[in-house]
Amino acid sequence: MNMVEVLLVLLFIVIVLLATNVRIVPQAYAYVIERLGGYNTTWGVGLHFKVPFLDRVAKRVNLKEQVADFPPQPVITKDNATIQIDTVVFFQITDPKMYAYGVDNPIMAIEKLTATTLRNIIGEMELDQTLTSREVINTNMRSALDVATDPWGIKVNRVELKNIITSEPIRNAMEKQIKAERERREAILRAEGEKKSTILVAEGHKESAILEAEAEKQVAILRAEAEKEKRIREAEGQAEAIRVVQMANAEGIRYLKDAGADEAVLTIKKLEAFEKAANGSATKIIIPSEIQGVAGLAKSVGEILK
């Protein structure tokens, strides 16, 4: 074997070594590297070269958020009801070294820890509280798991109770309880409705009576005002009629005086005025004394002329 062949062989060996010891770490991954069996370093994203025969990739770690869906776990509530809860855990690896060396099987460890924590939390709650407090259970579960998995380089982001499965006797009892509660609420609502209806009817009668009394009062006031106005108008009419008659008599006497009528004629006119007054509603008429003599004279003259 000549020198050229030796060089070619060496070149081939170098190329093979380079090809087998160069690593490219993709995005959202990390490689844990051991040298001679012990932890050496952690590779991030990019191109890396390991020492042949000394270094090795101990673990490829996925740094993305992962989901672990665990099968239903049987738990017992505070009031001794057995239920099964199906949980889903969302976690993310934050420290590849601790994840690689902290626990042998991290997913199984999270599952067992989830079941234990779930039993502790549900064991302090009654069945009804368990069914209506999912958010509280999720929060308590996440806090407990996050603290427990921190030494493993794992951060628990969320815990969700996907399903709560109860036994058939419990479901039947709950259905009966729900039915009884609905009937009770229906009876309460019906009673409240009847009460409100009775109150509204009574208030309606009250308002109607008040309005009727007010209307009758207004009608009485209007009638009294109308009667008052009528009497005022009648009095004013009578006063006006008397005033017109008196003015007419005064005007006639004045005309007689202007025409040069003597005292006897004026006295007769006065008597005619008293005659008209006597035809009215008055029952008594007082005639002055000076007119009485003239009246007798006028009567004598009338009898002679006949």
Token code pair at residue 291: 């007119």
Q: For residues 74 and 148, state if they share a domain.
A: yes
Classify residue 158: in a domain, yes or no.
Answer: yes
82: CATH: 3.30.479.30
Classify residue 290: in a domain, yes or no.
Answer: yes
Q: For residues 58 and 70, state if they share a domain.
A: no
Contact 63, 30 (CB under 8 A): yes
What is residue 89's predicted lDDT score, i.e. its pLDDT?
A: 94
Indicate the residue among 45, 62, 79 that finishes a domain.
62
For 57, the enclosing helix (H) or strand (E) is: strand 55-62
Distances in Å between the Cα of 139 and the Cα atoms of 106, 121, 128, 154 are 21, 11, 18, 17
> What is the residue type of 182?
R
Q: Which residues does 76 contact at the CB level (< 8 Å), separation at least 6?
A: 82, 83, 119, 122, 123
Domain residues for 287? Answer: 262-306
Whether the model pTM is above 0.85: no
Indicate the residue among 62, 91, 111 that finishes a domain.
62
- Long-range CB pairs of 65-72 (<8 Å, 24+ gap) are 65/90, 65/91, 65/92, 65/157, 66/90, 66/91, 66/92, 66/93, 68/107, 68/110, 68/111, 69/162, 70/111, 70/114, 70/115, 72/163, 72/165
Q: What single string gives the DSSP state of each residue in 232-298?
A: HHHHHHHHHHHHHHHHHHHHHHHHHHHTT--HHHHHHHHHHHHHHHHTSS-S-----HHHHHHHHHH
Cα separation, 28 vs 26, in Å, equals 7
What is residue 99's predicted lDDT score, i.e. its pLDDT?
A: 92
Q: For residues 159 and 70, state if they share a domain.
A: yes
Greatest Cα pair distance, the chain, in angstroms, is 204
Classify residue 111: in a domain, yes or no.
Answer: yes
Q: For residues 107 and 56, state if they share a domain.
A: no
Q: How would you write the pLDDT of the chain (306 residues) with one tens digit per residue?
A: 677 777 888 888 878 877 788 889 999 999 999 999 899 999 999 999 888 888 899 999 999 999 999 888 889 888 888 889 989 999 999 999 999 998 888 889 999 999 999 999 998 988 888 888 889 999 999 999 999 999 999 999 999 998 888 877 777 777 787 888 888 888 898 888 888 888 988 888 888 889 888 888 888 898 888 888 888 888 888 888 788 777 877 777 677 667 655 555 556 655 565 555 555 444 454 555 544 554 454 444 444 444
Other Cβ atoms within 10 Å of 49 Cβ, number = 11
User: How many domains does the chain fold into?
Assistant: 3
Classify residue 130: in a domain, yes or no.
Answer: yes
Q: For residues 80 and 58, state if they share a domain.
A: no
Q: For residues 85 and 135, state if they share a domain.
A: yes
Q: Which residues does 253 contact at the CB level (< 8 Å), separation at least 6?
A: 266, 269, 270
Q: For residues 96 and 46, state if they share a domain.
A: no
Contact 151, 95 (CB under 8 A): no
Burial of 235 (0-12, 13-18, 19+ CB in 10 A): exposed
Classify residue 211: in a domain, yes or no.
Answer: no
153 phi, psi to nearest 5 deg: 75, 25
